[in-house]
C-alpha cells in the first residue's frame, strides 16, 4: 500500500489545568479551546469530504477536540475513533506503527505534545523540532505509506487561521 494519502496531526485544544477527578487524562477543554477547535475545524473542512477519519487519544481534551470538529462539520454519520495508542502517556513507537493502519483514507489524529511533534518529525524525516501550540495541526501529504514518509503541506495554529480570516474580511 503506497498510494498517496493526507494525514493531519493535531494537538488537542487548550485545556483546563486541572480536572474534577484530579487526573491529567480528565482535563476538559476550556471555552477558548472549544472556540479555537471550531475555527480549525472550519479550516480543515475545506480540505476533506465526508470520507475523512478522525482518530483521538482517549484523554478527555483530545476526545472533546475531535468531537467538536465533527459537530462543527455537522457529520452525524461520522464517529471519533478512540485509540489509546495516541494517549499522552504512550510511547512514540506504537503510535508510528498504528498510523499505518489508518492511512487507507484521509485521517486526522488528535493527540498530545510532545508526541504530535515527534510523529511529524519521524514522518517527514525532519531535524526541525515542531512546537504544537494547543489546537495547532500539520497537514502531511503522504508520499510513501509503506515507509511512512511524507511532506508537510501546511502547519497552522488557531491564531494564524484567525489572522488570515481577519485579513480576508478586511479586503
Q: Using CA atoms, how far apart are residues 2 and 106, in angstroms rounded to an integer? A: 14
Task: Give the pLDDT confidence score for residue 2 in this predicted structure.
Answer: 39
DSSP-based three-state secondary structure for 154: strand
DSSP-based three-state secondary structure for 35: helix
Looking at per-residue confidence, does 78 or 135 come out higher?
A: 135
CA 79 to chain centre: 15
Q: Using CA atoms, how far apart are residues 90 and 120, in angstroms rounded to an integer? A: 16
**Full-model pTM:** 0.93
Helix (H) or strand (E) holding 159: helix 158-170
For the chain, report the end-to-end CA distance as a whole number of angstroms: 45
In this structure, of 28-37, 76-85, 114-123, 156-165, the range with the lowest mean pLDDT score is: 76-85
- Cα 35 to Cα 22, 27, 162: the distances in Å are 24, 17, 11
Task: Give the pLDDT confidence score for residue 3 in this predicted structure.
Answer: 47
Mean pLDDT of 44-71: 90
In tens, the pLDDT along 63-122 reads 999 999 999 987 665 789 999 999 999 999 999 999 999 999 899 999 999 999 999 999
Task: Give the pLDDT confidence score for residue 31 in this predicted structure.
Answer: 98
- Domains of the chain, earliest start first: 5-124+132-170 (3.40.50.1240)
Quick count: other Cβ atoms within 10 Å of Cβ 140? Answer: 22
Looking at per-residue confidence, does 42 or 134 come out higher?
A: 134
Q: Which residue has the cell 493531519?
A: 8
Averaged pLDDT of the chain: 92
Looking at per-residue confidence, does 128 or 61 come out higher?
A: 61
Amino acid at each position: 500500500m503506497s498510494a498517496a494519502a493526507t494525514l493531519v496531526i493535531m494537538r488537542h485544544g487548550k485545556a483546563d489545568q486541572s480536572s474534577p477527578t484530579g487526573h491529567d487524562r480528565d482535563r476538559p477543554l476550556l471555552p477558548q479551546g472549544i472556540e479555537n477547535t471550531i475555527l480549525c475545524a472550519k479550516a480543515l473542512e475545506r480540505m476533506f469530504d465526508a470520507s475523512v477519519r478522525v482518530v483521538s487519544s482517549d484523554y478527555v481534551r483530545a476526545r472533546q477536540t475531535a468531537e467538536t470538529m465533527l459537530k462543527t462539520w455537522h457529520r452525524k454519520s461520522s464517529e471519533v475513533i478512540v485509540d489509546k495508542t495516541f494517549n499522552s502517556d504512550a510511547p512514540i513507537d506504537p503510535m508510528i506503527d498504528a498510523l499505518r493502519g489508518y492511512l487507507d483514507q484521509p485521517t486526522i489524529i488528535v493527540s498530545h505534545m510532545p508526541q504530535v511533534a515527534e510523529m511529524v518529525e519521524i514522518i517527514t524525516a525532519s531535524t526541525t523540532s515542531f512546537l504544537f501550540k494547543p489546537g495547532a495541526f500539520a497537514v502531511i501529504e503522504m508520499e510513501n505509506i509503506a515507509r511512512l514518509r511524507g511532506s508537510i503541506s501546511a502547519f497552522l495554529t488557531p491564531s494564524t487561521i484567525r489572522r488570515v480570516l481577519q485579513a480576508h474580511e478586511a479586503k
